Amino acid sequence: MQQRYVGNSGFRVSSLSLGTMSWAQETDEQEAAALLHAFVDGGGTVIDTAASYAQGQAEAMLGSMLGDVVARSEVVLSTKAGASSSESRRSINASRGAMLAALDASLARLGTDYIDIWFAHEWDPNVPLEETLSALELAQRTGRARYVGISNYNGWQTAKAAAIAGFTLVANQSEYSLLQRRPEDELVPAIEDAGLGLMAWAPLGRGVLSGKYRGQIPTDSRAAQGRLTAYVERYLDPQASRVVEAVAMAARGLGRSPLDVSLSWLLSRPGVSTAIVGPRNAVQLKELLDAQLGVLPAEISRALEDVS
């Protein structure tokens, strides 16, 4: 798997990152261990998680596998702090105290003394940005985080954070795909101007760009599960369907899968360092690892951009 630099930094990541949002929920420990082993064996390095995923259980599950399923030195750990989720609500607290307490808890759950890249999970309108950034700076200065970044910040928020930080932010995590191109308006220009890299989450349009929802909702899919139905539904409208059909047509013409075409398009976009994918089982991961992830013909890329 290709290794790519993040922005203007010396931080290197694999072109695909393994997301763990489903771990300890839809993905059990046995499945997660198989995913982790196969991903690293396939050349992947970045494992992306967050303190809020399954209320910390995803981190704990990953931590239990480091040194057993894979060596700590083989992976790049990416985690986030400042957000928490429950069945009924989501809350944001990016204060210095909350961030640093969450970092120490993450380190304990992961069973490591440093995070490769640590993110402020979301913008907190109730906390001064300088305070949030001070937590990132202290984590880096004390060696608890090798690199730091921001997540789900829009264009002006990213530009402001980079301008006042006084230290190097290397990345922003944001949703980006052929079904979600809003980052191109302001976020991507802001990221490029500041020298950051974009780590794109939901690069397959929350699974819709894989083509599995064409004409049906599979019973084992996220859209069929009550907890995650709303997560997928926004991309099951007629406009999204037109994009999916265009991707499927391009895939047939190229002899590649819709998944491959979608990810190849994304990884060729300005500023994108890695695509964070979230396979829930070995079959889904195999399709990802089998993807060519090669540059698309220019006319195909233009057609996909036009329809999307």
> Could you say which of 53, 147, 153, 176 is catalytic?
53
Burial of 55 (0-12, 13-18, 19+ CB in 10 A): middle
Residues 281 and 151 sit within 8 Å (Cβ to Cβ): no
Q: How far apart are CA 133 and CA 165, in angstroms?
A: 6
Q: Which of 240, 255, 238 is nearest to 207 (CA)?
A: 240
User: Residue 281 is which amino acid?
Assistant: N
Eight-state DSSP code of residue 209: G
Query: Would you call 53 a catalytic residue per the annotation?
Result: yes
Please state the φ and ψ torsions of residue 44, each to the nearest 5 degrees.
Answer: -75, 150
Q: Tell me the two tokens of residue 193.
A: 């101007």
Dump strand ranges (E) for 75-143.
76-81, 83-85, 90-92, 115-120
Instruction: Report, as residue numbers or ranges, the catalytic residues.
Output: 53
